[in-house]
Structure 1
Amino acid sequence: MNRRMRKIILFFIDVILINLGLYLSFYLRFEGNIPSLYFNQIRESFFIITLIKLIIFTYLRLYKSLWEYASIEELSQIVMSVLISNFISLIYLVLIDAQFPRSIYILLFIFDILFIGGSRLSYRTLRKIKNISFSKQSNVKRVMIFGAGDAGARIIKELKNNNQLKYKPVVVVDDDGKKVGRRISGVPVVGERHNIQEIVDRKNIDEIIIAVPSANKNEIRKIVEECKKSQCRLKILPTISEYIKGKQSINYLRYVEIEDLLGREEVELNVEEISDYLRDKKILVTGGGGSIGSELCRQIAKFHAKEIIILDIYENNAYDLQNELKRKFKDINTKIIIASIRDRERINEVMKNLTPDIVFHVAAHKHVPLMEDNPKEAIKNNVFGTINVADAADKMQVKKFVLISTDKAVNPTNVMGASKRICEMYIQSMDRISQTEFVAVRFGNVLGSNGSVVPLFTKQISEGGPVTVTHEEVIRYFMTIQEAVQLVIQAGTMASGGEVFILNMGEPVRILKLAEDLIRLSGFEPYVDIPIIITGLRPGEKLYEELLLDEEGILTTTHEKIYIASPDFKEYKALLKEIEELRDLIINGEDKDIIDCLQKIVPNYKKPFIEK
């Protein structure tokens, strides 16, 4: 039904309702027994009264509004129209000396409000019920498109042309106010960003598709923040670089992820510098099957390394990664080495036989609570495993050794952080006596990595909750796996030996807010659909992490997201003597003795809450 026809129908409905209200006012006033005198006056005046009201309704643009848009604003407009039209009708009745009881005017005003306003608002209610019923029966999702540009138009066209998708584009929202009122393939542009919540409620929207591939990450974050208030599921179109490659199809839509809320711009790499650094090199990645190690291998493969050696103790991940690299990078030779970095002889054998040019040392135990319960295993793997790989690299005169470290090594409060600080100290002392360039790269939490909080929250949400947060005020630094790995590779090109590189992690994130955002992005309401429980800080856990020691200075580099810390070096022989004492305690000592020794080697280490 077109707009003109709906206006005509609405006009005639109002004629009926105006006269019904007039009749009921008298009927109610005289309890069903209307005197003949008033019947005659009604008959003589109903046409003029009806005409007055219709003219006022038309003049005040009641017929410009469509029923499905009926709202509180329109109800206010109706009240004003009824008030004015009844006042003018009163003047007319006074002029013709129609002596209606005063209560009639009050009743007439009330009935006009009920009938004229009710007709519009009831239509909206019925339409909403109908849409919800239809949506449930046909499993069709009602969709809002954010973005009235080319990308949004393509999405709308594809949604309309493909019924199998079961998506119905209902409205478009765009921050360009000039586009409001237009239509894209028949879908109206009805508002701007600040209207999203109201439009979602009014239009029964199930999902929002963000189709602004030209927007930067910070702008996307702001859009997502506004959209998530609606509690709709959110999907997003790929970035402009992927859009240019033709990935603007509905097939490339993905659900909004927590990374989109960080607002971090893509890393700009010095591709030429990295290419010279990695091209035709043999590169060993310890812990290569893990989340960070595997992404490191993928990124290295893009720069045409001669051979990628993936060393890992867990065979399944390493096997899957090798098959992926062979499929995507056919010209690159990959080799899988199943070995433990704790096995000194095996590591020496691998380094001697394969002679890598560059070593990225990623392998480590990193789960803080587990390492608090198992300090000996943390030291065996993190400290002595690193020493094994570093010594083997030195013996074979590997060109460059890059240690992946953590912000937990700064003023550590847990065994894992202390063990990684010793690793930093060792490779710095080694750099002074070795032909190999030893460096470390220190960064915070990586979204989506094994053991990170995001997969844990996601699993808890999928199970219906509760989501567990250790403390309301816990904050952490986060970056994506891709960003962290790209910066690690870039830092490697800058290394001259002995540096501890620090990655710019951006603004810290409150873990509680992270949990709330993940719940909303999953289509639920925090504390209503999914409870959040505060469990208390675990042994060794900080409220916040640091990236720099008090005694460390900081230097900028040619890359805006990479800095260099300059901590005090410890002489190699003195450090080695302390580490040998730690080795003896691994065999003969108790957990408490190991913790005391850690504190001796790392003076900034604070003992855990619960000593073993």
Structure 2
Amino acid sequence: MTTQWPRFDRPYVAAIHDITMAAAAFVLSLYLRLGDDFWSQTKDFLLEGTLLFTAICATVFASFRLYRGVWRYASLDDLLAIAKAVSLAILIFAVALFALTRLELMPRSALAINWLLLMGMLGGPRLLYRIAKDRGFFGILEQGSDGRIPVLLVGAGDIADAFLRQQRKPGEQYRVVGLIDNDLRKVGRYIHGVPVIGVPNKVENVLNKLRKSAIRPQRILIADALVTGTEIGDFLELADRYGMTLARL
């Protein structure tokens, strides 16, 4: 029987998860720091502090696009983004708390504990979800590297995932500037830091927008086994008009 995993790839589910974890990490960090004195020392500010920290995290996480990462393809890039977002959120919270209370109510060491907890509570589920889907760990361990030839990749599934990971290795020749996929739910999402920027029947619009941003893909690469011969013909015609080449992985 095939295991059905929850769809954590939807942005609103990821947002709910991350915001909930932020609130939980704040409370838990204080409990771990204060122990039996937790309630007596936090009852005057626990609710306000939790709401403030959670609001800051929600804003910072959105600015780092944490909610738009696809958990199915979580990688070291996602962990790095989480580390940056968590660090910035805690820094902003510390500054805000200092301005309001001179940090008199919040043990400073609890901030460090909070950082560790939140890193684990945000990154851990993403990596476990990826490992469970892949039935392995090594797909996560990839290194960043720029390719040389800008390309547009058609497909945002397993073939595209493998290709993107391969291109991050030193010496590879391609730089994927965007992904095209039939699944509208993926548009606006990111896989290994590369955005899904359109659907197949809107590729010409995508190319025009890229060119306005001084991004000129030289090739269209098909990374979807379900692309039909008719669709390939359409891509070939489009590639000819834009002076690009077409290839299938």
Residue 179 of structure 1 aligns with an amino acid whose one-letter code is: L
Corresponding position of 1:39: 43
Deviation of residue 9 (structure 1)?
0.7
Corresponding position of 2:11: 7
Corresponding position of 1:17: 21
Corresponding position of 1:124: 130
Corresponding position of 1:179: 152
Per-residue deviation, residues 557-599 of structure 1 (Å, max 9, x unmatched): xxxxxxxxxxxxxxxxxxxxxxxxxxxxxxxxxxxxxxxxxxx
- Which of 85, 89, 109 is the matching residue for 1:103? 109
- The alpha-carbon distance between structure 1 residues 129 and 192, as it changes in their structure 2 partners (threshold 3 A), is closer
Distance in 2 of aligned mates of 1:120 and 1:196: 20
Secondary structure class of the residue paired with 2:35: coil
Larger radius of gyration: 1
Per-residue deviation, residues 330-384 of structure 1 (Å, max 9, x unmatched): xxxxxxxxxxxxxxxxxxxxxxxxxxxxxxxxxxxxxxxxxxxxxxxxxxxxxxx
Distance in 1 of aligned mates of 2:165 and 2:43: 55
Contact kept? 2:29, 2:114, Cα under 8 Å: yes
The 4+ residue runs of structure 1 with deviation greater than 3 A are 1-5, 186-194
Corresponding position of 1:28: 32
Distance in 1 of aligned mates of 2:61 and 2:165: 32
- The alpha-carbon distance between structure 1 residues 94 and 189, as it changes in their structure 2 partners (threshold 3 A), is same
Corresponding position of 1:114: 120
Residue 92 of structure 1 aligns with an amino acid whose one-letter code is: A
Residue 178 of structure 1 aligns with an amino acid whose one-letter code is: V
Contact kept? 1:22, 1:108, Cα under 8 Å: yes
Indicate yes or no: 2:56 matched with 1:52.
Answer: yes
Corresponding position of 2:73: 69
Identify, as 1 or 2, the structure richer in strand: 1
- The alpha-carbon distance between structure 1 residues 51 and 129, as it changes in their structure 2 partners (threshold 3 A), is same
Residue 95 of structure 2 aligns with an amino acid whose one-letter code is: I
Secondary structure class of the residue paired with 1:40: coil
Contact kept? 1:57, 1:63, Cα under 8 Å: yes
Secondary structure class of the residue paired with 2:46: helix
Deviation of residue 187 (structure 1)?
7.0
Residue 117 of structure 1 aligns with an amino acid whose one-letter code is: G
Deviation of residue 16 (structure 1)?
1.6
- The alpha-carbon distance between structure 1 residues 2 and 18, as it changes in their structure 2 partners (threshold 3 A), is closer
Residue 155 of structure 2 aligns with an amino acid whose one-letter code is: R
Secondary structure class of the residue paired with 2:10: helix
Per-residue deviation, residues 385-434 of structure 1 (Å, max 9, x unmatched): xxxxxxxxxxxxxxxxxxxxxxxxxxxxxxxxxxxxxxxxxxxxxxxxxx
Q: What aligned pairs does 1:124-523 form with structure 2 within 5 A after superposition? A: 124-129=130-135, 177-180=150-153, 182-183=154-155, 189-190=160-161, 191=163, 194-195=166-167
- The alpha-carbon distance between structure 1 residues 28 and 4, as it changes in their structure 2 partners (threshold 3 A), is closer
Secondary structure class of the residue paired with 2:45: helix
Measured on the aligned residues, the alpha-carbon RMSD in Å equals 3.3
Deviation of residue 25 (structure 1)?
0.9
- The alpha-carbon distance between structure 1 residues 31 and 55, as it changes in their structure 2 partners (threshold 3 A), is same
- Which of 78, 91, 106 is the matching residue for 1:87? 91
- The alpha-carbon distance between structure 1 residues 94 and 83, as it changes in their structure 2 partners (threshold 3 A), is same
- The alpha-carbon distance between structure 1 residues 32 and 118, as it changes in their structure 2 partners (threshold 3 A), is farther
Corresponding position of 2:140: none
Deviation of residue 192 (structure 1)?
6.3
Distance in 2 of aligned mates of 1:110 and 1:192: 29
User: Identity, % of aligned pairs?
Assistant: 24
Residue 31 of structure 1 aligns with an amino acid whose one-letter code is: G
Residue 63 of structure 2 aligns with an amino acid whose one-letter code is: Y
Residue 119 of structure 1 aligns with an amino acid whose one-letter code is: P
Deviation of residue 196 (structure 1)?
8.5
Contact kept? 1:179, 1:189, Cα under 8 Å: no
Identify, as 1 or 2, the structure richer in helix: 2
Deviation of residue 178 (structure 1)?
2.2
Distance in 2 of aligned mates of 1:187 and 1:129: 13
Distance in 2 of aligned mates of 1:176 and 1:66: 25
Number of residues of Structure 1 aligned to a counterpart in Structure 2: 153
Distance in 1 of aligned mates of 2:73 and 2:165: 18
- The alpha-carbon distance between structure 1 residues 183 and 96, as it changes in their structure 2 partners (threshold 3 A), is same
Residue 93 of structure 1 aligns with an amino acid whose one-letter code is: L
Deviation of residue 6 (structure 1)?
1.4
Corresponding position of 1:573: none
Q: TM-score, normalised by structure 1?
A: 0.23
Residue 107 of structure 2 aligns with an amino acid whose one-letter code is: P
Unaligned segments of structure 1, at least 5 residues: 131-174, 199-612
